[in-house]
Amino acid sequence: MTDSPLRVAMIGHGFMGAAHSVGWRQAPRMFDLPRAVDMAVVVGRRADAAAEAATRWGWRGAADDWRAVVRSDEVDVVDIVTPGDSHAEIAIAALDAGKHVLCEKPLANSLGEAEAMAAVADRARERGQVAMVGFTYRRVPAVTHMRDLIAEGVVGRIAHVRAAYRQDWLVDRDMPLAWRLQREHAGSGALGDIGAHIVDMVQFVTGQAVTAVSGTLETIVARRPLQAAGSGLQGTAGEGYGDVTVDDAALFTGRLSGGALASFEATRFATGRKNGLEIEISGERGALRFALEDLNALEYYDRTAPEDRQGFSRILVTEGAHPYLSGWWPPGHMLGYEHGFTHQVVDLVEAIATGTSPHPTFAEGLSVQRVLDAVERSDHDGSRWTSTGDEA
Ligand code: SOE
């Protein structure tokens, strides 16, 4: 183990780059990390934009050639926050160059890429490198707490899982054709972007794999104005129209390895729902529910309580005994969306310093990708039940 700071290169600097920058900046300030963090360099296609991002988000330098950066002896960790079409190439190059890697979700745009990435990560692991996928919501304290309670047996045997991630940013038909609506850049639409989160969350909190799915994908608005300027989530329309080549909504049912039946809903057309991720677990002994729009709380139903006292109660996950909370404010003070990104850095740095493997590994990212791929195949085959190939 070395005491030198971990020198981080972040490739990309859009919305996720801002969120990851907050994580890299806050983690060493709020938590006692075993290694210092050096926010060494942010990389973008345009040198001027990368330099602006570096200044704004607190990176020491900026560059426009990611290949040179991932090979550089001055870099220990590569953090990938680009659209999915470049995840595989950058992650594999970085792992081959001996770097630790954090890669935004979903792991890749296709199953083949994800398989290649997981194989390279496995070999890199033998050399002591870590590779982690950015399923950040695992690190919302209430979600980690939910996982711990389920592992303790609080809900008992699980019969049902209901998971939904509903947003509404595409309801406006004039919203332009951003990269997130183009298959060659995003891989899929609501399925891979937000469906991936709920698949990962279900597998994480239950400890069970999704083994088979029956799915339906829908593109609700097939053509949109070309984008003149903007990001993946907003922008201004230019001249002409283009085809939307991804799904706007993905609905699927799934069977879990422990026998539960799960429902999944991922849509960008849920009018009024902004970041509506919800998950409810129904078991023999009780139930637990989490909603991202109320992220400091869990709902808990205890079926073993006396009959006249049964009912959903609310656990505020804001106490020192709760996951990650000891690093923050006095008991009772709330956290938000960005804190998960800080907790992600805390766990990554601890894993690098101790030589352990931080979850979710690339293998876990691959397992989510298998589910996404099976949903697409199922939809293609008239919603036929389709195996994910994952039995773990
Ligand atoms: C857009 O749907 C998005 O920004 C996702 O890409 C993120 O992963 C999620 O955190 C919020 O919504």
CA of 193 to the centre of ligand 1 (A): 6
Q: Whose CA is nearest to atom 11 of ligand 1?
A: 275
* Ligand 1 atom closest to residue 137's alpha carbon, by position in its atom list: 10
* Ligand 1 atom closest to residue 104's alpha carbon, by position in its atom list: 8
Ligand 1 site: residues with CB under 6 angstroms? 167, 193-194, 233, 275
ipTM of the complex, rounded to two decimals: 0.96
pLDDT at 391 exceeding the cut of 90: no
pLDDT confidence of 211, banded at 50, 70, 90? very high
pLDDT for 392 equals 53
Does the reported pTM lie above 0.90? yes
3-state secondary structure string, the chain?
CCCCCEEEEEECCCHHHHHHHHHHHHHHHHCCCCCCEEEEEEECCCHHHHHHHHHHHCCCEEECCHHHHHHCCCCCEEEECCCHHHHHHHHHHHHHCCCEEEEECCCCCCHHHHHHHHHHHHHHHHCCCCEEEECHHHHCHHHHHHHHHHHHCCCCCEEEEEEEEECCCCCCCCCCECHHHCHHHHCCCHHHHHHHHHHHHHHHHHCCCEEEEEEEEECCCCEEEEEEEECCCCEEEEEEEEECCCCCEEEEEEEECCCCEEEEEEECCCCCCCCEEEEEEEECCEEEEEEHHHCCEEEEEECCCCHHHCCCEEEECCCCCCCCHHHCCCCCCCCCCCHHHHHHHHHHHHHHHHCCCCCCEHHHHHHHHHHHHHHHHHHHCCCCCEECCCCC
* Ligand 1 atom closest to residue 193's alpha carbon, by position in its atom list: 6
CA of 290 to the centre of ligand 1 (A): 17
Question: Across residues 336-355, what is the average pLDDT?
Answer: 98
* Ligand 1 atom closest to residue 136's alpha carbon, by position in its atom list: 10
CA of 275 to the centre of ligand 1 (A): 8
pLDDT tens, position by position, 252-278:
999 999 999 999 999 999 999 999 999
